[in-house]
Amino acid sequence: MDTLDGNALAGLLAEVFGEDMTSVVVTCRTCGVSAPIGEAMVYPRLPGAVARCRNCAAMLMVITRIRGVCCVDMLGLDAAPLP
Amino acid sequence: MEGTAVQRRLSFRPRPWQVATVTGAVGETPSVRTIDLAVPDWPGHRAGQHLDVRLTAEDGYTAERSYSIASAPGDPVAITVERLEDGEVSPYLTEELRIGDQLELRGPVGGYFVWEATDAGPLLLVAGGSGIVPLRAIIRERQRSGGDASIRLLYSSRTLADVIYRDELDAYRDGIAVSYTLTRAQPTGWTGYAGRVDSALLAEVAWPAHKDPLAFVCGPTSFVETVAEGLVELGYQPNRVKTERFGASGGR
Q: ipTM of this predicted complex?
A: 0.88
CATH 1.10.579.10 fits B123-246, yes or no: no
Length of chain B: 252
Task: Give the chain A residue nearest B105 (alpha carbons).
Answer: A11
pLDDT of residue A65: 86
pLDDT of residue A70: 87
| Burial of residue B228, with CB atoms counted within 10 A of its CB: 0-12 exposed, 13-18 middle, 19 or more buried | buried
CA distance A67 to chain B (A): 12
- Give the residue from A3, A7, A37 with the most B CB atoms within 10 Å of its CB, the best one to mutate: A7
E runs forming strands in chain B: 18-29, 32-38, 50-56, 62-68, 77-82, 102-109, 123-128, 151-157, 176-182, 193-194, 214-220, 241-246
Instruction: Select the residue of B8, B13, B221 nearest A3 (Cβ to Cβ).
Output: B221
Confidence of residue A27 (pLDDT cuts 50, 70, 90): very high
Distance between CA A77 and CA A79 in Å, rounded? 5
Quick check: A22 and B110 CB within 8 A? yes
Distance between CA B103 and CA B228 in Å, rounded? 35
The domain spans of chain B are 11-109, 123-246
Q: Is the peptide bond before B108 cis (omega within 30 degrees of 0)?
A: yes
Claim: this prediction has a pTM higher than 0.95: no
Confidence of residue A80 (pLDDT cuts 50, 70, 90): low
Contacts of A20 in chain B (CB under 8 A): 109-112
Position A45 pLDDT exceeds 60: yes
Distance between CA B90 and CA B42 in Å, rounded? 23
Q: What is the CATH number of domain B11-109?
A: 2.40.30.10
B244 in Cβ contact with B131 (< 8 Å): yes
Quick check: B66 and A10 CB within 8 A? yes
Distance between CA B92 and CA B123 in Å, rounded? 35
Mean pLDDT of A28-53: 93
B250 touches chain A (CB under 8 A): yes
B221 in Cβ contact with B252 (< 8 Å): no
Distance between CA B114 and CA B231 in Å, rounded? 19
Q: Write out the H or E segment, with its range, that includes residue B91.
A: helix B90-91
Kindly list the averaged pLDDT for each block of 10 residues, start to end, along chain B of length 252. 45 73 97 97 95 94 94 96 92 96 96 95 96 98 93 98 98 96 97 97 98 97 96 97 76 38
Pick A45 or B195 by higher pLDDT. Answer: B195
